[in-house]
Amino acid sequence: MGIVGGAVVGLLFPGQGSQYVGMGRELAALRPAARAVFEEADEILRVRLSQLCFEGPDTELTLTHNAQPAILTHSVAVFSTIAAALGDVGAAAGHSLGEFSAWVAAGALSFAEAVRLVRHRGELMLKSGEDRPGTMAAILGLDDETIDRVCREAGGPDGECVAANYNSPGQVVISGDTAAVERAIEGARAAGARRALPLNVSGAFHSPLMRVAEADLAAQLGAVTFSTPRFPVVSNVTAGPIADAGQARDLLRRQLTSPVRWAEGIRAMRAVGCSTFIEMGPGNVLTGLLRRIDCEASGRAIDTAADVDTFLAG
């Protein structure tokens, strides 16, 4: 188990929505290891992904098939600059797309195969959203059981609605057919939700509406090599630590249509001894969620070159 300042370390990797124009630019300029990761992504994908990260435009960067490889690349670039200072690690987890980053960090999946996979995954999710349009909404201030009930009651002949991300106590994202999600928003407000906000997304991610993409993603996952991880990776699907690489393919496939059990996953990492968490990649969304899940856990986000310098100096 990894020890930083006497604490067992858990690694966190962000998912889609954390991207921003300028991500990784200074890091790649100042850290050769990070620059090499961005250059490898450009060569593998045969697109100027690094330029899109560094310069935008935002309208292109936020497209699902661009945002996913961009976030993975930035996350792995950060990891590459501080990995030697971490030693062994207790466990890792990634939010949706970020689970691919976690498997790379664990040494179970090569970066080259991961960046191809998530590019294809993003294309599949975008197409699924076009073939069967849907939407998502964030619900704040209700417990999980109430949201599950609201989603069940919102389903009907014109569509279905499910919980997609159990992010933290009182913060859940729902997903499904537009009419059903709209009914669920009204149902959540009637149940006392503090806020119920439609999200600007290109599809109903982590819902049955993504099922059409499962077979294609399964085929892609079947073509890559998974090795035994150096440390467990917490699955979004089961919220439990996985040390068997053989399970990774099926769980990453199932992730498309299953809810992200993020809060449970953090508790699982705490149960195996993780007390200090390091978020690697763009933004600090997961560090914020950590504070709401477990106020006793310590967390820090490492995104920029300055963040890396501060961590390594410490």
pTM over 0.85: yes
Predicted local confidence at residue 15, as pLDDT: 97
CA–CA dist 243, 230 (Å, integer):
8
Which domains, from first to last, does the chain contain?
3-130+209-313 (3.40.366.10), 134-202 (3.30.70.250)
List of residues 6+ apart from 32 with CB closer than 8 A: none
Residue ranges of the chain whose pLDDT lies below 70: 1-6
Which residues are known catalytic residues?
96, 206
Two tokens at 24?
């990784």
3-state DSSP helix/strand/coil percent for the chain, to nearest 5?
A: 50, 20, 30
pLDDT at 5 (0 to 100): 57
217/215 Cα distance (integer angstroms): 5
**For 122-176, what is each residue's pLDDT tens digit?**
999 999 999 999 999 999 999 999 999 999 999 999 899 999 999 999 999 999 9
